[in-house]
Chains A and B, each alone.
Chain A
């Protein structure tokens, strides 16, 4: 498995501002992912964070709105830019090791935009 931490755990932000969420894994991992989840709902994949190259975004998500960095094999950041109330959600990062499909998740960042 993997131990993942996220910062911040929650934040309340004003519309028009940006928030960067950090994801730290306790050891090197091959792939990292960013998800969005409304409370009680399923998870929606935002993008796959690739080490050494640009992130791969899912349909409906764009780099200008959700820039992602992955500077090494244990760390990634997701920025939610120019926030609006519709961005209020839980943001989760996850990772996989080696060539398995088992994803391990961080505790999430609960974002409220006012």
Chain B
């Protein structure tokens, strides 16, 4: 089935560093979403993207909807300890009556003291 490949699989960074991660697919999607999941919690929606080329920010987070509609990127500036967690991309093809999300494989972010 459809699959979204996230890269990198894991990241080890120091506090204050910027972070970049991406999500790619062989298929076209019309909506891209980015989630963060903390241990023992459900995923929390960070950013939603609806137009190819769109660049959207949420505080220190910035995400872009790739122009080919086959990828998306998430950047985190000046990382802080609470950024630790697993980040998932998700996408929707927007077929009429089909609102299912396809989830990426996840990027685990760890901050090294």
Contacts and interface: CB of A to CB of B under 8 A. Distances in A.
Interface of A: 1, 4, 31, 33, 40-43, 45, 48, 59, 92, 94, 96, 100-108, 110
Nearest to A102: B48
- The B contact surface, by secondary structure, is strand
B45 A42 contact: no
A94 B43 CA distance: 10
Contacts of A94: 42
A101 B101 contact: yes
B33 A42 contact: no
Contacts of A42: 88, 103-106
A101 B44 contact: no
**Interface-centre pick from B33, B44, B100 (highest chain A CB count, 10 A):** B100
A101 B33 contact: yes
B70 interface: no
Interface residues of B, number: 24
A106 B99 contact: no
10 contacts: A31-B99, A42-B88, A42-B103, A45-B100, A92-B42, A101-B33, A101-B48, A104-B45, A107-B42, A110-B40
Contacts of B101: 45, 101, 103
A105 B43 CA distance: 6
A43 B103 contact: yes
Contact of A105 (B1, B42, B104): B42
**Interface-centre pick from A59, A101, A106, A108 (highest chain B CB count, 10 A):** A101
Contact of A43 (B43, B44, B108): B43
A107 B44 CA distance: 10
Contacts of A105: 35, 42-44
B31 to A, nearest CB: 5
Nearest to B100: A45
B86 interface: yes
